[in-house]
Amino acid sequence: MARWEGGAADRFREAALELYAERGYEQTTVAEIAERAGLTARTFFRHFTDKREVLFAGSETLREGLEAALREAPADASPMTAIGLALERSAAFLGRDHRHSRRRQAIISANPELQERELIKMATLAAALGSGLRDRGVPEPDASLAAQAGIAVFQVAFGRWVTAETETDLAAEMRFLLDRLPAVASR
């Protein structure tokens, strides 16, 4: 088996998705993922801390992108406009591979441990958005409320996008739902 072969992380991700879909997350071991990828378990642990992280490795990049988009939003943008700009950037990152996202989400949805990890990721993203809004001078509770509303939009839009039979535009889903918020709030 190759020790330092390029693209190892991608090979591990693909092997893990295949095995999780075939056997289930809980029944799949790191050794099996490594074997399927044609690499070693030791190499696996150079890229991922555990078999969950194969599914969540991009979380840090997503959080950083959201934070950067908030910092770059126009100074006079309302909290929800700034959140919308951040979500649009996340859509560019997440919306690149519909097939992969569908497969990943199906695995997460089938396993309570992974669902819990996904909720932790969402809470972390909400905290990052809230902090970014406070850095922009948005007071509480407005910063937290806007951040949580943004994450709700994110989750619903992603759910609609990932379950769509044909590939749609994730950013368009997010814009549609952001536009729906005032109508929902006024009921």
Tell me, letter by letter, the H, E, C secondary structure of 61-93.
HHHHHHHHHHHHCCCCCCHHHHHHHHHHHHHHH
Residue 21's closest CA among 105, 132, 137, 124?
105
For the chain, the residue count is 187
Percentage helix, strand, coil for the chain under 3-state DSSP, each rounded to 5 = 75, 0, 25
Cβ within 8 Å of residue 37, ≥6 positions away: 8, 11, 12, 14, 15, 44
* Mean pLDDT split into 10-residue runs, the chain, 187 residues: 66 96 96 96 95 92 94 96 95 87 94 96 97 97 97 96 88 94 86
User: What's the pLDDT score for residue 5?
Assistant: 54
Place of tokens 């072969």: 5
What's the structural domain count of the chain? 2
85 and 159 part of one domain:
yes
What pLDDT is attached to residue 6?
Answer: 61
99 and 168 housed in the same domain: yes
Domain range for 151 is 58-185
Do 146 and 120 reside in the same domain of the chain?
yes
67 and 143 co-located in one domain: yes
Q: Return the structure tokens found at 43.
A: 């190499």
CA pair distance 45, 66, nearest whole angstrom? 27
Tens digits of residue pLDDT in 154-164: 999 999 999 98
Domain assignment present for residue 167? The answer is yes
CATH of the domain at 16: 1.10.10.60
Instruction: Read off the tokens for 147.
Output: 């951040």
Residue 104 inside a domain? The answer is yes
What is the CA 4 to chain-centroid distance, rounded? Answer: 28
What pLDDT is attached to residue 167?
A: 78
Dihedral angle of Cα 122, 125, 126, 132, to the nearest 10 degrees: 180
2 lies in some domain: no
> Which pLDDT belongs to residue 186?
85
Alpha-carbon distance of 60 to 93, in angstroms, equals 12
Predicted pLDDT of residue 2? 44
Q: CATH no. for residue 156? A: 1.10.357.10
167 and 110 fall within a common domain? yes
> What is the pLDDT, as a whole number, of residue 92?
87
Q: Based on the fold, state whether residues 43 and 88 are members of the same structural domain.
A: no
